[in-house]
Structure 1
Amino acid sequence: MFLRVPDGRVVESLLVLTAKSIASLFPFEVVESSPLLIPEELQRLIAFYSFPTDEDDIWLYSCLSSGGSYEFDQGEALWADKAVKECVQIGELLKCS
């Protein structure tokens, strides 16, 4: 979500900036279990920015959370075999088509 300001520059929306800030300060599990009412759109953005996007960082995150690289390697093999497309994983939630 980007906004064009009067001088022609494109800037990120306050919603995106808020999500990035929260994601950098709190684990998503804290946000998800918060007693405060957090709008669903903001929760989705926080979840997106809470997890790594670089392949090496994803590998490390996967190994730390599962104790090995088996799940990462299995997912990479499925991706290489074109068994999934448009795959997005956020924590334990996996969404594929």
Structure 2
Amino acid sequence: MICCAICGFISWQWYSKSHPEHGVFILDSEQCRFENDTIKINGHISNKSRAYQRSVWLYIEGFTSSHWLIINASGVDKQSFVRLKRATLAARRECGESK
């Protein structure tokens, strides 16, 4: 019982760190940046990123560290979400072609 509670707590911490409630996401051609009160992430979208119907799971690789960032469609306007999905798919395609 205690082990399940500890695993649940650790999972919740990871999810809440990867899925912020607010912030600013700036998408440039190859670079992206996310900032809010607690975290600042700079880097490029990795091929590990995934685009789903209602969410995008970004794996952002920076110079010193990498971060997961989950963005739901309900959190941004429709056009911005489509652009983010396209950038994610382009990053996956570019990495597949370079192998």
After TM superposition, is the score higher than 0.5? no
Q: TM-score range by the shorter chain?
A: 0.3 to 0.5
Q: Which has the higher strand share?
A: 2
Of the two, which has the highest radius of gyration?
Answer: 1
Instruction: Select the structure that is richer in helix.
Output: 1
Q: TM-score, normalised by structure 2?
A: 0.32
TM-score (norm 1): 0.33
> Relative contact order (C-alpha < 8 Å, sep 6+): which is higher?
2
